[in-house]
Amino acid sequence: MTDKNLSQLPPVNAVLNSLTKYGINFQMYDNVRVEPTDHSFLDAIKYAKKGEFDAYVAVGGGSVIDTCKAANLYASSPTSDFLDYVNAPIGKGKPVTVPLKPLIAVPTTAGTGSETTGVAIFDFKELKIKTGIASRAIKPTLGIIDPLHTLSMPERIVANSGFDVLCHALESYTALPYNMRSPCPSNPINRPAYQGSNPISDVWALHALRIVAKYLKRAIRNPEDREARASMHLASAFAGIGFGNAGVHLCHGMSYPISGLVKNYKPKDYNVDHSLVPHGLSVVLTSPAVFAFTAQIHPERHLEAAEILGADIRTARIKDAGFILADTLRKFLFDLNVDDGLAAIGYSKADIPALVKGTLPQERVTKLSPRPQTEEDLSALFEASMKLY
């Protein structure tokens, strides 16, 4: 499984050659939509049901890997309704109890870390928001992290997928701690995939953040810098292991309507025919406002993150941690020519009520924010993200 653009590029070629060389009988589906929707998931599910495959190989970014997880799940549970496994309150959030087929994920971005997570995200067209399916059962059986697959990524795809790694690390490190979440599920099978920050996910998040600080700019600016591209590819998987267990919070929760309500934005370097706000861009644009807001709780973690990202904190006061991290992020984004806030991708103040409305059902992640938020808080966060510099 892959997308149309990648089907012409070296990573897919390498996989097809390998399958052919070892005499594996296969079919290729290259109709994955970049930033998948419920419709595009359903198309892949139909294909998977019809093919009755023994195993799946997903070659691509998060869009491809997520689509393949959904195809595997519903082909393995053919009588289920699409909404059965979709996160509540949008879907029924049923636990997965059927066995799935093996899925080998070959990521080509750096990235979503989707090769490590039990999450598949799609844009629910009817509601104009992104939501997803979250269950350990859909985690790929194997991830093949080969940095050569990232060498063909154009500049903005490296940048935007790298911002996703940055936010996965920052959000999972600052998420509500696992022992402060409530209520406890009545049965362990109902435990959410995202359990809150914990000592194990912290290790992965911090390590990924250090790599992002050292290598993201280099990976964006120089496609020949193999050390930087390889390091970011690993950071993507590391951050995935971190957030896949701890979860993410407000940048991601607010990103889902930012992507879902897209107007005419056509990002540079994306070889697609529809408007889209790339996932990494949709999460990073609110990051300065979000961390200025959440730093009240665990300010020391926010300050530590700012320091890792290059801030000089020798004379910093702990109560300024949020502003320091926000300023550090703004500078980081400015240096990388990122669009100047939500206004630059087509939103205005008049869109804020719809953006807030689209964030409210994202409780799976917004409840992991260390600081609870009201509708007014969300409104203020969107407003503060209209312009960054």
Ligand X SMILES: NC(=O)c1ccc[n+]([C@@H]2O[C@H](COP(=O)([O-])OP(=O)(O)OC[C@H]3O[C@@H](n4cnc5c(N)ncnc54)[C@H](O)[C@@H]3O)[C@@H](O)[C@H]2O)c1
| Contacts to ligand X by CB under 6 A | 3, 5-6, 9, 11, 34-36, 60-64, 66, 108-109, 111-114, 117, 119-121, 149-150, 152-153, 157, 161, 164, 270-272, 279-280
Residue 320 found at the interface with Fe ion (CB under 5 A) = no
Question: Which residues have CB under 8 Å from 332's CB, separation 6+?
Answer: 309, 310
The one of Fe ion, ligand X, none whose footprint includes residue 174, by CB under 5 to 8 A per kind, is none
Shortest distance, position 282 Cβ to Fe ion, whole Å? 9
Residue 236 binding partner per list ligand X, Fe ion, none, with a CB distance cut-off of 5 to 8 Å that depends on partner kind: none
Query: If you write DSSP's letter for every residue of 112-164 in order, what string do you get?
Result: --GGG-SEEEEEETTTTEEEEEE-GGGS-SEE---GGGGTT--HHHHHHHHHH
Contact partners, residue 211, CB within 8 Å, separation at least 6: 231, 232, 234, 235, 238
CA dihedral sign, ordered 155, 255, 386, 351 = positive
Region of 4-12, 38-46, 164-172, 210-218 interacting with Fe ion (CB under 5 A): 164-172
What are the angstrom distances between the C-alpha of 6 and each of 65, 191, 220? 13, 36, 19
What, of ligand X, Fe ion, none, does residue 114 touch, CB below 5 to 8 Å by kind? ligand X
Is residue 115 within the footprint of Fe ion (CB under 5 A)? no
Own/partner contacts of 74-79, CB < 8 Å, gap of 24 or more, are 74/45, 74/48, 74/49, 75/45, 75/48, 75/49, 75/51, 75/101, 76/100, 76/101, 78/49
Strands 119-124 and 103-107, sheet pairing: unpaired
**For residues 48 and 69, which CB has a smaller minimum distance to Fe ion in the complex?**
69
112 and 279 in contact (C-beta within 8 Å)? yes
Identified binder of Fe ion from the candidate list 43, 66, 115, 164, rule CB under 5 A: 164
Kindly list the distances between the CA atom of residue 49 and the CA atoms of 195, 298, 316, 324, in Å, as whole numbers in the listed order.
32, 47, 57, 51
Q: State the binding partner of 152 from ligand X, Fe ion, none, CB within 5 to 8 A by kind.
A: ligand X
Nearer residue to ligand X within complex by CB, 42 or 297: 42
DSSP 34: S
Nearest distance, CB of residue 112 and Fe ion, angstroms: 6
Query: Minimum distance from CB of 148 to ligand X (Å)?
Result: 9
Cβ-in-10-Å burial (0-12, 13-18, 19+) of 319 comes to exposed
Question: Are the C-beta atoms of 245 and 191 separated by less than 8 Å?
Answer: no
In terms of CB distance, is 138 or 321 closer to Fe ion?
138
Stretch that binds Fe ion, among 52-60, 100-108, 149-157, 160-168 (CB under 5 A): 160-168
Q: Whose Cβ is closer to Fe ion: residue 229's or residue 249's? A: 249
Residue placing its CB nearer to ligand X in the complex, 121 or 386:
121
Asked whether position 66 contacts Fe ion by CB under 5 A, the answer is no
CB nearer to ligand X: pick between 113 and 358: 113
| Measured distance CA(317)–CA(325) in Å, rounded | 12
- Which residue number, 298 or 364, has a Cβ lying nearer to ligand X? 364
Q: Which residue is nearest to Fe ion (CB)?
A: 164
Q: Which does 341 bind (CB under 5 to 8 A by kind): Fe ion, ligand X, none?
A: none
Which CB, 109 or 135, lies closer to Fe ion?
A: 109
> Is 123 a binder of Fe ion (CB under 5 A)?
no
Question: What residues line the site for Fe ion (CB under 5 A)?
Answer: 164
